[in-house]
A and B are shown apart, each in its own frame.
Chain A
Amino acid sequence: DTEVTQTPKHLVMGMTNKKSLKCEQHMGHRAMYWYKQKAKKPPELMFVYSYEKLSINESVPSRFSPECPNSSLLNLHLHALQPEDSALYLCASSQQGQGFYEQYFGPGTRLTVT
């Protein structure tokens, strides 16, 4: 089973709202990722969690706040977003250890900021 699930599928929020995106995997992976993808562009890495600790933050604005409550769950808390933050947000997971491991992606959350 290589399934990563994400909720919600679609989200519309105003610039003053607070919302959260959720991601879950049950593959026993210990690395989890958030990516942002704008239309007609490749995914861009935002955050990496390794063994539930934040290991990479690609200079993402503080209005995006990641959280990894346990090894299966990954959240992305959103606050005071801008319209240019509208995008497809993708979660991925992989094994973690020495060397590179293949990343498996969820279906994404389509976010629209109004």
Chain B
Amino acid sequence: GQQLNQSPQSMFIQEGEDVSMNCTSSSIFNTWLWYKQDPGEGPVLLIALYKAGELTSNGRLTAQFGITRKDSFLNISASIPSDVGIYFCAGPLYGANNLFFGTGTRLTVIP
């Protein structure tokens, strides 16, 4: 079935380092979303992308909608301890209300 693959699966970085992660799909998406989830909490929307090639920033976060519409990228600059969590990409599949989530990237920031 459909799967949104995120890589890396997990990463350990030093505080202050930049982070890059990506999400790839076998299907075309018209919208990409990036969420962050803290343990035991609900996902929080970080960035939404609506156009192929679009580059959008939210503070230290920057996300890009891949040209092929089958991938998206998230970068975090100058990481801080509160960036710890699981980052999910997501997109609507089989209809506007049917949001499908990627496999997630678990980020650990070492102070």
Contacts and interface: CB of A to CB of B under 8 A. Distances in A.
Interface stretch (B12-20, B39-47, B65-73, B77-85): B39-47
Nearest to B3: A42
A103 interface: yes
B104 A42 contact: yes
A108 B30 CA distance: 28
A42 B102 contact: yes
A100 B42 contact: no
Given A104-B45, A105-B44, A108-B42, A42 B98 contact: no
Contacts of B33: 102-103
Q: Provide the main secondary structure of the chain B interface.
A: loop
Contacts of A88: 40
A108 B45 CA distance: 15
Interface range for B: 20 to 34
A42 B40 contact: no
Given A33-B99, A102-B45, A102-B48, 4 more contacts: A6-B42, A43-B43, A90-B42, A107-B41
Interface range for A: 20 to 34
Contacts of B99: 33, 45, 92, 103
Interface stretch (A48-56, A67-75, A76-84): A48-56
21 contacts: A2-B45, A4-B42, A31-B97, A33-B97, A33-B99, A42-B88, A42-B102, A43-B43, A45-B98, A50-B97, A88-B40, A92-B42, A96-B97, A100-B92, A103-B33, A103-B45, A103-B99, A104-B45, A105-B43, A108-B42, A110-B40
